[in-house]
Structure formats: C-alpha cells, structure tokens
Structure 1
C-alpha cells in the first residue's frame, strides 16, 4: 500500500470547506466516492479519476497517473485548495 502514496499531497475542500490532504491513491478513491461534490459527481473528469485510481490499485499504472487525474478532476470541480 505504501507504494501507492504520493510524494506531494493534494489539498482539496469538501462541501463544508474542510480541507483534506489526499496523500495516496486509496485516499483519493475514497474521497472521489464519499466526499465529491454532487454538482460534479459523474462528470467526465470525476469518472476518469476514479478509473485512474482503479488502474493503479490493480497494478496497471503508476501512482502518479492517478494523482494527475485526481488533480485535474479537483480543478474542474473547483475544490482544489491552493497552498
């Protein structure tokens, strides 16, 4: 599981303005399912990030692949917390 950790966490805000520091593929997958804003749930980037996480968890891709997809989805959803 440690091999799926990211070197740099991705800070994102949930619907109640709580900042989460996403540090691994597993944590990203959980956030995508449990905390993703309803207004963006099911968007192309949201689904692409879920697929990227699954690909990594199934050892088909490198963790950075999921991180890039998660960051793009968070930007599109307007929940990426800067700094």
Structure 2
C-alpha cells in the first residue's frame, strides 16, 4: 500500500465528504500533506482564519526546520502560492 493510499484511508473517518474530495484533489495535484495537518488547515479555514495568515504561520514553522529538511516544504508552499494567487 502506497503512502497516498494510507493517507486516504486515514482521513476517511476524519473528514467530511467535501473535505475528502478536496484532500483527493490536493493529492492529485502532487501536493503531499499529512492527513492530520490537512484536517487542522480545514478546521482553521472553517473558523474563518484568513488563508494568508495560515500561510504566514506555515512559513514561520518552516524557517525553524533544519535547512536540509525544508526542500519538500518549499515545494508545497510554492504550489500553495500559485493556487491562491499570491506570489512571493
């Protein structure tokens, strides 16, 4: 079983049907994200936290991660920037 299949199975009971569809779309777009992090992001958006505030928080967290482990996060944040319309 691949990691993506495991992610999908892990989120089935945690996400609403709409969130599951969005999670599948995120994975299909090539963005790898842990299901629990995805769920937290969905909860923050449901609480009307502005997406740019979430992105800023993710960047702050990324900056605290050792440089060698940042490459995957940089790719995911770049993909987010392009889909949200904001450019850095």
Please confirm whether the aligned pair reaches a TM-score higher than 0.5, indicating the same fold: no
Length-normalised TM-score, structure 2:
0.34
Which is richer in helix? Answer: 2
For CA contacts below 8 A with separation 6 or more, give which structure has more relative contact order: 1
Length-normalised TM-score, structure 1:
0.36
Which is richer in strand? Answer: 1
